Amino acid sequence: MATAAKTAAIAEIAEQFRNSGAAVLTEYRGLSVKQLSELRNSMRAHATYAVVKNTLTQRAAEEAGVTAFDGQLTGPSAIAFVTGDPVETAKTLRDFAKANPRLVIKSGVLDGKPLSADDIRKLADLESREVLLAKLAGAMQASLSQAVYLFAAPLSQAARTVDALRAKVETEGPAAPTAPQDSAPQDAAPPEAAAVDDTPQDSVPQDATPQDSAQDSNDDA
């Protein structure tokens, strides 16, 4: 391969590394072209599966700052450049490798962090993004339904109470007004004071004069 072509290939692979959220290195020794095509098509929604040259890929990885594949680029290599859900991609590779044991999952990188083959298998065991979103949506819907019920229940009870009161009024009629109790005048004497008269019945009136008293004495004489 000419130098210019190699430089272009390295730049293209490095750009794929930069534009991918994850990448998985595999060895496809013994797989047929048809099998590789099936694998490529099965992960098309989430990743691009490309056969690569080891030397050029090593240089491209260095340019992109990817160290996960150091020492791993040996034998016939192909990389899944993940632009979608890495969990779905890991599941696809795991399932294909079970059906076709000649496919070897070697290593990977996710958000700049190296992944071992065991890490990729654990990633494949996780629930996919779609499943997690569906569960989250279901939980939110259940919470909203419960909240609506809690808010609506008191309103319904209040409405039933108002209807019951209205029916009672229509049946029995309005209640008669209660007559107010007569209150005693503010200047009335307390009952105890009004009932007691300390003045003797035969006492001399307060307006009697001394002359009148003297005249009465002379008459007696």
Confidence of residue 113 (pLDDT cuts 50, 70, 90): very high
Is the domain covering 10-126 a CATH 1.10.10.10 domain?
no
Assess contact for 106 and 27: CB atoms under 8 A.
Answer: yes
Give the whole-number percent of the chain exceeding pLDDT 70. 58
Confidence of residue 127 (pLDDT cuts 50, 70, 90): confident
**163-193 burial string, b = 16+ CB within 10 Å, else e?**
eeeeeeeeeeeeeeeeeeeeeeeeeeeeeee
pTM for the model stands at 0.59
Question: Tell me, what's the pLDDT at 189?
Answer: 45
d(CA 188, CA 55): 119
List the beta bridge partners of residue 116.
107
Range scoring the smallest mean pLDDT among 28-32, 40-44, 65-69, 136-140: 136-140
